[in-house]
Amino acid sequence: MQFKLKNINDWSYYYVPELEQRGIKHGFFTAKSPSHTLQGDEKAEFLGAFGLNDFVIMKQEHGVDVHVIQDGHRPVSGDGLIIISKDIAGIVKTADCLPIVICGMDSPVVSIIHAGWRGTAKKITKKAIEKMSEFGVNRKRITAILGPSIGPCCYEVKNDVRNVFMEEGFSDDIFKRKNNTLFLDIRQANMEILHNEGIEDIYDINLCTRCSRDIFNSYRGGEKEKRQINFVSLTG
């Protein structure tokens, strides 16, 4: 499977066509799309463009709270969403952090995660997989998609961040060193979590938001307020 760039009206996004063909609608939007607020006319435009009835978007806290969207539940805050109802999108916002979509290929269950370094260190990806398993998802039949994020080329960190990851059992391979400077590979860290959970079917778009500021908003690239939106839903 490969990522492709698609445009619908004003919405420009990356997606994996094979997953959409299996009823998993999803997208990692570029900075050329409308703003991340999705209020007013933008909400109606988004729902109409993607044939959705509703969406859930939260205040993100760089934590590990993962919510299941069912029976009208609308969480106020958190960093992960499990979707089991059709035509309702789960949305996370990013501008360097890593958006991850996790799909149960034999079960009508998908999730989307906002994985910053704190959430990654606390293994929010593992927590989402555990919650998906409660709904009958077979871990051997999960596909994970890693969207655009800041890469190890640009994600400079200090030893205090490295110490947090080491204490949580990550390997030192998730850090790169260049000219006495330390860089975090947040994508590799989450792939470590996925592999440890038995997930092997992983697709990585491998685009750095800071290196690709002509395509994406990047917090470390100077866009302190703007975000991309990323979504996943199950089609009816």
pLDDT of residue 226: 87
Question: Does 201 score more than 90 pLDDT?
Answer: yes
Q: Where are the alpha helices (DSSP H) in 168-202?
A: 186-196
Q: What is the pTM of this model?
A: 0.96
- Spatial separation of the C-alpha atoms in residues 181 and 4, rounded to whole Å: 34
Question: Does 81 score more than 90 pLDDT?
Answer: yes
For 44-56, the pLDDT digits (tens) are 999 999 999 999 9
Q: 173 with 188: CB under 8 angstroms? A: yes
pLDDT of residue 35: 67
Question: Does 59 score more than 80 pLDDT?
Answer: yes
Strands of the sheet containing 156-157, edge to edge, are 156-157, 181-184, 175-178
Question: Does 215 score more than 80 pLDDT?
Answer: yes
Q: How would you class 101 by CB atoms within 10 Å of its CB: exposed for 0-12, middle for 13-18, buried for 19 or more?
A: buried
pLDDT of residue 63: 93
Q: Where are the beta strands (DSSP E) in 167-210?
A: 175-178, 181-184, 201-204
Average pLDDT of span 87-95: 96
Q: Residue ranges of the domains in the chain?
A: 4-234
- Spatial separation of the C-alpha atoms in residues 151 and 128, rounded to whole Å: 23
For 113-155, the pLDDT digits (tens) are 999 999 999 999 999 999 999 999 999 999 999 999 999 999 9
CATH of domain 4-234: 3.60.140.10
Q: 103 with 154: CB under 8 angstroms? A: no
Output phi, psi for 199, to 5 deg. Answer: -95, 120
Kindly state the tokens that stand for 138: 């077979």
- Spatial separation of the C-alpha atoms in residues 88 and 56, rounded to whole Å: 7
For 158-179, the pLDDT digits (tens) are 999 999 999 999 999 999 999 9
Q: What is the CA radius of gyration of the chain?
A: 17
Amino acid at 128: A
Q: What residues contact residue 18 under an 8 Å CB cut-off, 6+ apart? A: 1
